[in-house]
Structure 1
């Protein structure tokens, strides 16, 4: 009898252990997914369900934990962690749903996450192990270092892990949204207008990859010659011609031609004291690594007042009284002289390039000269003497 009394408490303990025993078939936590790849600064939602089918148990507490961290031999509640309390939202209940949402994820959130539930029965508790492994990724843009205009170009948006939430990739150029979607941006024949800073992101998310500059190279466009003077170019002026061309890389080699003769190099071509001999057609050539191009010719119109004014007579023989005599005035000037005046001695006679005496007489004998005039000045010819002889 004494022996039975001693054994009774032991048998009673064994019976309690059998009743309170937790079976993995009846108790458990199910995560979906078990591996999670989230984008920086995004929000992730872990779908979670749990079961506890042993009769008589009631859920007293549910919470999430990371890396099975314990304090005083108890798993810690993640919602009490200051780094998570404002970002962690429990979406479940105390029956079956243990779904949780974590917002604004960063690389510091890369942990293994576990769900824990505790019942009203001593020892009636469970942690879903293994948990959910979270990886956090940024986006990186892969682009060729440099391309040439009309090349085919492929840009790729990459992450360090495959994003769990099926992403729709979107693209930006110079912060402007493009219509293209997908993790690759294909440009069949790139133009210089498509150069710029490219970045990619995921639709519905705020994170955008670091920008990568797409450098589109091209040969020089037709150069343009400009002149440092907007007014009339006068003989003796200093004139500078400037050659400009759009190219990438910028043209560093410039050559100058006067007619077909090479006359200088460099983007600037200076003529310190221009003369009428410089009234020619000029063109420049711009060259970079991808090719060369010539400008359209530019003519320098060097203007000057009349010079080399002279008088010619239509008769080379002796002038007889009664003859018809014509005097012609010629001048070298730019613009051409249009104003001519005639003088006999100091007496003004007539105007026009031609001075005609229909029936000359001895009274017409004497020194004649003409004056040529344009917008820039005037000049007299040397005198010509008419010696009218009588029969």
Structure 2
């Protein structure tokens, strides 16, 4: 009986001791937990796979304590128990984690290149000389996934399309879109044929991490219907030719019908002559001559090709003419194309092989060249070229000097003159200005395309110009200044003198006129009467949160 009572007392004593110890540990200000706390700015962050995330946090600790270590851990169930493992010990986090805080109050952490297994709970711990403390609360990181959608996925050209990008969590960010890898301006638009493709979305600033692509299919009737001929369009009787038809359409054209126009191109009299993508004419006759067109059709509609002219048993002879064949710049020019047969067609023109917009125009120097005509749709078969000659007086008259423009006495220099003109300039005259550049006193000093000055003297100093002439007129070059036997000081004096003359002639009169107007205004002001207002008048107007902590010694 005594031993049972002794055991009972001992058991009661142990229970009381344990309870007292627990109360002592949990009571504030008694053991390690007093004064320790951590604050997570965002305890539930969400980020994209492949991006980075920052856990911003701060911590407090009792006065007098010195923090000598901080660390972050990740929680996970291991062997049936919830355990925390420091990130520095997890190989998958190597070189992807950066502690942004310090050992004062900042405990922020960054994780880069986020991966699927980074999802979970993260805890903060700090150690002082006497204690180790870890947060009971945690940061839970979840990873977002971008999901792109296109509505409708299949749309007729002209219909409205809306692009939507969703994530598995809320991300305050701007969404950007790509079609086949190229940026897209708008998430809502009216569909065009070229809008078809694969669309993906991303967050602005993280464009490399895009959603899986989704397709947009744009449906439209046949467009760009084109007829091609297997041989020349001028064909001998009995020969054969194949005409093939192609188009862009979605869905693809499922019907091709061939027509020959029995009248003029503007007439509605079309004769059906075949069907299928290829029209075969195995034995040509003159009756096959005419304008052919192809009509392509799909469930959404139909469209016609441009008309192709076939000439059977005829030698197509186009005669181009230019009137006048030689014209002065600014004069009217008319291009005319005639055929050896009567068959309505649209004529197109070329100058030196390049298309010409108009058959009538005012001639410019650059309009000179060889002109040829062709029937639209038969551009490869052109007329023989005819020339247009555009006449104009000398332009772009240019003087070049064979040496520097500042020359020593006794040296030599050649001045050469060139110009653009048609006919070419047949006369060149050289002048030296004896006064200032604005003076009309020009002294003729030579003729010919080159002016030679074999033994320079100071008297040769001056402004030289060349006048080029042809039967249509003349034009002058800009003036070239030659300085013979002058030092830098002499040239400076000349320039200063010219500046003084310009000032006296142009600027001084303006200053004097301004001063006169100012004086006149002052006189008027002084002569104006002064009035006093002697009547009286009056004027009247009209989520951060603090996480719980647990302590460990």
TM range (shorter): 0.5 to 0.7
Match of 2:157 in 1: 149
Contact (CA 8 Å) 2:233, 2:309: kept in 1 or not? no
Tell me which residue corresponds to 2:296. Answer: 286
CA distance in 2, matches of 1:216, 1:162: 32
| d(CA) in 1 for partners of 2:183, 2:43 | 34
Higher radius of gyration, 1 or 2: 1
> Out of 285, 288, 306, which is 1:275 matched to?
285
Instruction: Mark the runs of 5 or more structure 1 residues left unpaired by the alignment.
Output: 1-9, 306-333, 337-391
- How far the C-alpha of 1:245 sits from its partner, in A, is 2.0
Q: Which residue of 2 aligns with 1:213?
A: 215
Q: CA RMSD in A?
A: 3.1
Q: Deviations over 1:327-362 (max 9, x none)?
A: xxxxxxx977xxxxxxxxxxxxxxxxxxxxxxxxxx
Structure 2 CA distance, aligned partners of 1:68 and 1:107? 15
Change (3 A) 1:75 1:134: closer
Question: Which SS does the other structure have where 1:221 is aligned?
Answer: strand
Q: Aligned to 2:177, which of 159, 166, 171?
A: 171
Distance 1:105 1:276 in 2: 77
User: Is residue 2:140 matched to residue 1:129?
Assistant: no
Aligned position for 2:254: 252
Distance in 2, matches of 1:216 and 1:70, equals 53
**Does the 8 Å contact 1:29/1:127 carry over to 2?**
no
TM-score by length of 1: 0.65
1:88 pairs, out of 97, 109, 131, with 97
Maintained 8 Å contact 1:173/1:196: yes
CA contact 1:304–1:335 (8 Å) conserved in 2:
no
Q: Is it true that 1:99 corresponds to 2:108 in the alignment?
A: yes
Query: How much has 1:116 moved relative to structure 2?
Result: 1.6
Equivalent in the alignment of 1:300: 310
The answer as to 2:57 corresponding to 1:48 is yes
Deviations 1:165-210 (A, max 9, x none): x322222233233445xxxx111x2222333333222222231223
SS, match of residue 277 in structure 1 = helix
Q: CA deviation at 1:69?
A: 6.3
Q: Which residue of 2 aligns with 1:241?
A: 243
CA spacing shift, 1:178–1:283, aligned 2, 3 Å: closer
Q: Name segments (4+ residues, structure 1) moved above 6 Å.
A: 13-16, 69-74
Paired residues in the alignment total 287
Q: State how far apart, in whole Å, the 1-side matches of 2:134 and 2:101 are.
A: 16
- Aligned twin of 2:196: 195
* 1:72-96 Cα shifts (integer Å, max 9, x gaps): 9984211221111211111112222
Report if the CA contact (8 A) 2:225-2:294 is conserved: yes
Whether 1:265 aligns to 2:265 is: no
Distance 1:39 1:82, change over 3 A: same
Q: CA deviation at 1:16?
A: 8.5
1:36 matches 2:45: yes
Q: Is the 8 A contact 2:75 2:84 kept in 1?
A: no
Q: Which residue of 2 aligns with 1:225?
A: 227
Match of 1:115 among 114, 118, 124: 124
Residues 59-116 of structure 1: CA deviation (Å, up to 9, x unaligned): 3432111115689998421122111121111111222211000000021211111112
Deviations 1:30-59 (A, max 9, x none): 212111110111110011112223x55433
Residue 159 (1) aligns with residue 167 (2): yes
Separation in 2, partners of 1:90, 1:192: 51
Per the alignment, in what secondary structure is the counterpart of residue 83 of structure 1?
helix
Contact 1:258 1:281 in 2 (8 A): yes
SS of 2:221 mapped into structure 1: coil
Cα shift readout 1:353-385 (whole Å, capped 9, x = no counterpart): xxxxxxxxxxxxxxxxxxxxxxxxxxxxxxxxx
